[in-house]
């Protein structure tokens, strides 16, 4: 990552009639950076990705990509590629023919087709019609189509959607490799573990507004307190110690945040207070067998910043397929 900005958005707003899809969004992506877009359904992620791919134009603000300012009537620079709302593939064409069409339309990349298919692990089904492909295979083929143009900005909406864990890891490796060559990768995902593993920076959108944009570490730090699952050799003593530790709160057993194990407590506190709690437990002769966040820091930040933390569990577990924008 060389620090040069490939994408720079300032005060970008987009309206759909009365609906404000994006509201004064500022957004920077550096070359070689994997940048995650996070937000609940309807937050404006797809709209923002659509703007980056030139599918629509911002109603207000400025959006510069690879040195070009995107305005009404101007084309997106050549080295921008990707997909939103799933890759659009022609079902009656084979995987190779779909890629061939992309290469032909863009004027180059035909010789890269075998390599692109190999990169996403579709060489064996290159001559099968896309009609019979699973969602995960389509996602891979969509990524291969994007890679054909040797992108400097790669825009992907839920690239791991429909992929099994091994497939998701494979795609993550591909994206990391692409970023290592200096390409900016901008992706949205509901899978916080993927984003945490892939992204150096994230932008968190809610109701069209940016509520956070920056390094993931900073986001986790901003959260402050996290809920932790604490498994010890003596739950009763541990609960007494925790309740006496400054900055630590023992959460009631609501059956949602922790398993109904007798030796498990759910405690809330910052990282330093957890350190203090561990020292006190050891001092009290209680063995600490497990201390881990109930949810990953990024997910916790997401829930906290989007106000979804108070929502019933499972209320925001959509895969995004039903997301309108």
Partner 1 sequence: MTAAVAQERVAARPAPALRGYRFELLKLVVQWRVRLLLVACWVGPAVFVAAVSGQSSLPSDTLFGRWMGQTGWAGSLVVLSFCCTWVLPLLTSLVAGDVFAAEDRVGTWRHLLTVVRSPRRVFVTKALAGLTVIVLLAAGPAASSVIGGVVAVGDRPLVGLDGHLLGLGQAAGAVLLAWAAALAPTVAFAAVGLLGSVALGRSPMGLLLPALLALLLQVVQLLPLPVAVRVALPSYAFLAWRGLFTDPAQTGPVVLGVVVSLAWAVTATALAYLLFLRRDFTDLAYDGSGRRALAGGVLPLVALLAATAGVVAIATPASGSGIDRSKLQTSMATAYAHLYRLQSRELRRPDVTEAHLLTSAACDKGGSRVDDVGPGNDWRCVVSWHIPGATAVGSAVYQLDLTADGRYVADGDGPQEVNGFFQVRTPTGDAPNPLWQFDGSVDLLSATSKG
- Rounded Cα distance between 165 and 186, Å, is 21
Query: Does residue 308 bind partner 1 (CB under 8 A)?
Result: no
Cα dihedral 128, 132, 134, 135, rounded to 10, equals 100
Q: Which of 9, 12, 31, 43 binds partner 1 (CB under 8 A)?
A: 31
Please tell me whether residue 93 adopts helix, strand or coil conformation.
Answer: coil
Q: Which of 101, 135, 207, 295 binds partner 1 (CB under 8 A)?
A: 101
CA 141 to chain CA centroid, Å, is 20
Of 188, 209, 161, nearest in space to 29 by CA: 188
Closest approach of Cβ 173 to partner 1, in Å?
24
CB 316 within 8 A of CB 38: no
Q: Which of 67, 114, 217, 307 binds partner 1 (CB under 8 A)?
A: 67
- Rounded Cα distance between 143 and 120, Å, is 7
Range in contact with partner 1 (rule: CB under 8 A) among 87-95, 191-199, 283-291, 307-315:
87-95
Query: Does residue 280 bind partner 1 (CB under 8 A)?
Result: no
- DSSP one-letter string for 210-244: EEEEEEHHHHHHHH--EEEEEEES-HHHHHHHHHH
Closest approach of Cβ 141 to partner 1, in Å?
11
Residues binding partner 1: number (CB under 8 A): 53
Q: Which of 30, 192, 199, 248 binds partner 1 (CB under 8 A)?
A: 30
CB 309 within 8 A of CB 303: yes
Q: Which of 53, 219, 220, 305 binds partner 1 (CB under 8 A)?
A: 53
- Rounded Cα distance between 254 and 252, Å, is 6
Query: Does residue 209 bind partner 1 (CB under 8 A)?
Result: no
**Closer of 1 and 288 to partner 1 (Cβ):** 1
Query: Does residue 132 bind partner 1 (CB under 8 A)?
Result: no
Q: Which of 37, 43, 83, 265 binds partner 1 (CB under 8 A)?
A: 83
Name the site residues for partner 1 (rule: CB under 8 A). Answer: 3-6, 8, 14, 16, 28, 30-31, 46-47, 50-51, 53-56, 64, 66-68, 74-79, 81-93, 101-102, 104-107, 142, 145, 152, 214, 324-325
């Amino acid at each position: 990552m060389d620090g040069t900005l490939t994408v720079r958005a300032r005060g970008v707003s987009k309206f759909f009639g009365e609906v404000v899809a994006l509201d004064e969004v500022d957004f920077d992506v550096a070359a070689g950076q994997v940048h995650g877009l996070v937000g609940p359904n309807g937050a404006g992620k797809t709209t923002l990705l659509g703007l980056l791919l030139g599918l629509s134009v911002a109603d207000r603000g400025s959006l510069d990509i690879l040195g070009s300012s995107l305005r009404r009537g101007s084309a997106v620079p050549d080295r921008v590629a990707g997909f939103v709302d799933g890759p659009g593939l022609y079902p009656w064409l084979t995987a190779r023919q779909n890629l061939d069409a992309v290469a032909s339309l863009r004027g180059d990349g035909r010789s890269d087709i075998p390599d692109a298919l190999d990169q996403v692990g579709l060489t064996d089904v290159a001559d099968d019609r896309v009609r019979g492909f699973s969602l995960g295979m389509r996602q891979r083929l969509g990524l291969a189509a994007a890679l054909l143009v040797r992108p400097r900005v790669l825009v992907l909406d839920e690239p791991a959607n429909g992929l099994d864990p091994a497939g998701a890891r494979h795609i993550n490796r591909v994206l990391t490799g692409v970023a290592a060559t200096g390409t900016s990768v901008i992706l949205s995902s509901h899978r916080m573990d993927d984003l945490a593993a892939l992204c150096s920076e994230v932008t968190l959108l809610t109701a069209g507004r940016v509520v956070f944009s920056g390094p993931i570490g900073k986001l986790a730090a901003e959260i402050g307190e996290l809920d932790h699952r604490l498994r010890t050799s003596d739950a009763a003593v541990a609960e007494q110690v925790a309740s006496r530790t400054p900055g630590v709160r023992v959460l009631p057993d609501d059956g949602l945040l922790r398993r109904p194990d007798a030796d498990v407590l759910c405690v809330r506190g910052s990282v330093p207070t957890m350190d203090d709690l561990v020292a006190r437990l050891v001092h009290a002769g209680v063995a600490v067998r497990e201390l881990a966040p109930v949810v990953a820091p990024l997910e916790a930040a997401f829930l906290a910043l989007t106000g979804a933390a108070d929502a019933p569990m499972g209320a925001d577990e959509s895969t995004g397929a039903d997301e309108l924008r």
